[in-house]
Structure 1
Amino acid sequence: MQLLSQSLGSLATQLPGATRVFHQFKLDFCCGGQHTLAEALKKKGLEPGPILAELNRLAEQPQLGKNWQEAGTQELISHILARFHDKHRIQLPELIRLARRVEHVHGDLPDCPTGLADHLEAMQMELESHMQKEEQILFPMLAQGMFPTGPVSVMQEEHLDHGEALERMLALAHDLELPPGACNTWTALYLGLRELKEDLMEHIHLENNILFVDRASGEGSCCGSCH
């Protein structure tokens, strides 16, 4: 497999464990999944050697876990609902509570993630609206074998907004770098933010690169504006 010429989205769907490596090297495989590995590394200014070594090691291992490309539409939808929609609804309220506490207690420190709680509340509102539209409109249509390009494009455009919101979240949280002597609440907050980031990227990846593919035509739904 010519890894450098493969798109991030393709590698993420075909090579189990690749998403973990992409997180490690901070490569966007969800909204930026159409870019090749070579393009993504060049954009980040990264040498290909270390990541190629990791990916080649994965390619040599026996495949474990579920291959969602082989799953039926309803099975994939059920997985997304249980693994991501339900989880996001649990994650965000607690992260907002932790962020408010950190800002209240440590607001005078330069490393305090000031404004993070408000941003997380905005993320929660946008994500809840997005998930409801999927649950009430798009997912039932896909489960019935329909492929409504309009609703799919709208959801993918909103995925871009979610990606930008994640970038803003990381900026407010100083790229999740804890200051020396950070309290347990601050530590728990940043651990939770890291989990949210990884979960939301995986969520978007499964939808953009697998679910939002017209299985009748074999064409993906990417609108070409991902970055």
Structure 2
Amino acid sequence: MSQTLLEQSLGQLACDIPGATRIFHTFKLDFCCGGHKSLREAALGKDLDPTLIAQALHSLQDTGETQLDWRNQPSPVLITHLLTRYHARHREQLPELIRLARRVEQVHGARSSCPNGLADLLTDIQQELEGHMLKEEQVLFPMLQQGIGLQAAPPIQVLRFEHDQHGQALEELLALTNNITPPADACNTWRALYRGLLEFRDDLMQHIHLENNVLFVNALNPRH
């Protein structure tokens, strides 16, 4: 069983197995932008033992946990979920994260462990993400809701490229924050900032995963 899991793509496994994304987060495997890679390829690329990860996924399958399979939902239903669960949420998250980051940098900027430059990075992410979400809301989502997914190939190509850029920004965020791990003596503001960053990172990866590996795939491969 583990052997077949090794050859499946991270994106497919994230759709197939409830809880798989938690394991991918643990091993820092990119299932959203890198969702096309097989588990074997992705693990070896990070010097990880692919069999170990496959066994962890296999044990999840045995629990019988269930989740909504978005691949079987009509595009308008998934789009509504994306808008309410992710687009609206990111617009709430980022202003507060930027505010907290500025405070931490102002108070603790002299410390080597301080994530100096984080507020500016989050501001860039906010601007890039806002422009990206507006393209989806004003161009792509209306096309898909009208059922003309095959004509959406050009905007989907642009949006996939922008997703890759978001993924690179997340890598920068992880590098700047010691994998979003606060120092042992971090103040409450610093800890609150990193808790928020973890939630934002998880939300953004799940958001990109649902678009790259479900919404875009379904749009370009309509089932008759």
Please state which band the TM-score falls in when normalised by the shorter chain: over 0.9
Match of 1:50 among 36, 49, 52: 52
> Any runs of at least 4 consecutive aligned residues in structure 1 with deviations exceeding 3 A, and if so which?
214-219
Match of 1:194 among 195, 198, 218: 198
The letter for the 1-side match of 2:39 is L
Specify which structure has the higher proportion of helix: 2
Tell me how many residue pairs correspond in the alignment.
Answer: 219
The letter for the 2-side match of 1:85 is H
The CA RMSD measured in Å over matched residues stands at 1.4
**Structure 1 residue 218: deviation in Å?**
5.2
Residue identity over aligned pairs, in percent, reads 55
**Structure 1 residue 63: deviation in Å?**
3.9
Where does residue 140 of structure 1 map in the other structure?
142
Per-residue CA shift, 1:173-200, capped at 9, x if unaligned?
A: 1221211210000001111111111110
**Equivalents in 1 of 2:83, 2:68: separation in Å?**
16
Match of 1:82 among 81, 84, 95: 84
- Structure 1: runs of 5 or more not aligned: 220-227
**Equivalents in 2 of 1:103, 1:17: separation in Å?**
35
Per-residue CA shift, 1:159-186, capped at 9, x if unaligned?
A: 0110011111111112212112100000
**Equivalents in 2 of 1:25, 1:31: separation in Å?**
15
Match of 1:38 among 33, 40, 44: 40
TM-score normalised by length of structure 1: 0.93
**Equivalents in 2 of 1:99, 1:127: separation in Å?**
18
- Structure 2: runs of 5 or more not aligned: none
Where does residue 175 of structure 2 map in the other structure?
171
What aligned pairs does 1:4-153 form with structure 2 within 5 A after superposition?
4-147=6-149, 148-153=152-157
**Structure 1 residue 62: deviation in Å?**
2.0
Per-residue CA shift, 1:28-81, capped at 9, x if unaligned?
A: 001000110000110111113432222011112224221111111000000000
Conservation of the 8 A alpha-carbon contact between 2:98 and 2:123: yes
**Equivalents in 2 of 1:189, 1:25: separation in Å?**
22
TM-score normalised by length of structure 2: 0.94
